């Protein structure tokens, strides 16, 4: 009887040991598989990031090629029929897929142009211009006063704006920049702006170049941005302009009869050009299900090959 009990206990111990070994093996297998998955994810993340950076270099090459074509064919101009304006959708690169879109930042209104200027009348004209744009977009034009206060150097609020006292009274409090916006996302810090509103205006506004110099590219600007340039521009006039694009020379705009007097007035103010020098690049790079989004700002010089990446983010 005692011997049978001992055998039973031994069998139980053997089974316990086997169960423990099985648990250890299974745990080791799970950890090994998890490690392999994490290594593969890291590998694909690095691949997608590298592919995204390669997309930025491809965009630089496209912009340089566009400039070369301009030099060969005549005066430098940038329009929506240029090679840089053609998106590259789902381009296969090895085991990855790359999409590249280039956008002209000069076709947008530069909010930093509302900063203090030597001529207060010129500054007020800029504020009214942006207010007209907001009205066309069915956004409260009074919000423009808060942008103007954020980017100017003084502490004197516009009629519907906000300066230091307003922001220090918030919870949590913070100070206004009293200087140029570094990114369009900074609009979220300004009185009256929400994430949704920033998304709505991002197609029409920019913070480049820094410092702002006031002109937009008439060849690429959205019709609403063009119409906001002058209070007497109508939808029909802007439609005439858009149909005649691209303009090879700035003086060619005068040939659109309906806008000739306004075009000459705006040209004297330096309000527009027909070329660009700042471009935003949007890239999607995917490898084995891992996707990276790259946003870059490229400044292209008039000298071939003399460009620079002013900003780059990878998410």
Mean residue pLDDT across the chain: 89
Q: Could you tell me which residues are beta bridge partners of residue 293?
A: 284
For residue 100, being part of any structural domain is answered with yes
Q: What is the average per-residue pLDDT within 238-249?
A: 95
Q: pTM of the prediction?
A: 0.86
- The boundaries of the domain holding residue 32 are 2-106+277-314
For residue 58, being part of any structural domain is answered with yes
What element of type H or E holds 305?
A: none
Report residue 34's pLDDT band, with 50, 70 and 90 as the boundaries.
Answer: confident
Contact 160, 131 (CB under 8 A): no
For residue 119, being part of any structural domain is answered with no
Among residues 130, 176, 134, 131, the alpha carbon closest in space to that of 153 is found at 176
| Exposure b/e, 148-162, CB count within 10 A at least 16 = b | bbbbbeeeebbebbb
Distance (Å, rounded) from C-alpha 275 to C-alpha 253?
13
The CATH number of residue 291's host domain is 3.30.1300.30
pLDDT at 38: 76
For residue 49, being part of any structural domain is answered with yes
Q: What is the average per-residue pLDDT within 136-158?
A: 95
Report residue 214's pLDDT band, with 50, 70 and 90 as the boundaries.
Answer: confident
For residue 208, being part of any structural domain is answered with no
For residue 53, being part of any structural domain is answered with yes
For residue 42, being part of any structural domain is answered with yes
For residue 27, being part of any structural domain is answered with yes
Pairing of strands 205-206, 109-110: parallel
Number of domains in the chain: 1
């Amino acid at each position: 009887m005692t011997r049978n009990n001992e055998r039973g206990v031994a069998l139980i111990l053997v089974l316990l040991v086997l169960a423990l070994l099985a648990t250890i093996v299974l745990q080791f297998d799970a950890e090994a598989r998890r490690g392999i998955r994490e290594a593969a994810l890291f590998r694909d993340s690095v691949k997608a990031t590298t592919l995204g950076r390669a997309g930025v270099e491809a965009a630089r090459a496209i912009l340089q090629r566009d400039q070369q074509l301009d030099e060969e064919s005549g005066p430098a101009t940038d329009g929506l029929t240029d090679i840089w304006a053609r998106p590259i959708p789902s381009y296969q690169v090895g085991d990855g897929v790359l999409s590249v879109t280039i956008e002209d930042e000069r076709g947008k209104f530069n909010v930093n142009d509302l900063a203090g200027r030597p001529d207060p009348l010129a500054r007020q004209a800029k504020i009214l211009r942006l207010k007209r744009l907001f009205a066309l977009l069915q956004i409260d034009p009074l919000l423009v006063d808060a942008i103007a206060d954020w980017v100017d150097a003084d502490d004197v609020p516009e009629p519907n704006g906000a300066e230091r006292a307003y922001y220090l009274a918030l919870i949590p409090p913070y100070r206004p920049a009293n200087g140029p916006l570094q990114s369009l996302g900074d609009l979220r810090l300004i009185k009256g702006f929400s994430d949704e509103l920033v998304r709505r205006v991002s197609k029409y506004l920019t913070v480049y170049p820094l410092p702002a110099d006031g002109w937009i590219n008439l060849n690429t600007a959205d019709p609403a941005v063009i119409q906001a340039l002058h209070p007497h521009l109508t939808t029909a006039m802007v439609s005439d302009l858009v149909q005649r694009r691209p303009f090879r020379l700035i003086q060619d705009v005068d040939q659109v009869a309906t806008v000739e007097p306004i075009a000459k007035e705006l040209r004297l103010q330096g309000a527009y050009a027909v070329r660009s020098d700042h471009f935003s690049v949007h890239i999607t790079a995917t490898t084995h299900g891992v996707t990276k989004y790259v946003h870059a700002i490229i400044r292209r010089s008039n000298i071939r090959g003399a460009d620079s990446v002013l900003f780059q983010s990878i998410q």
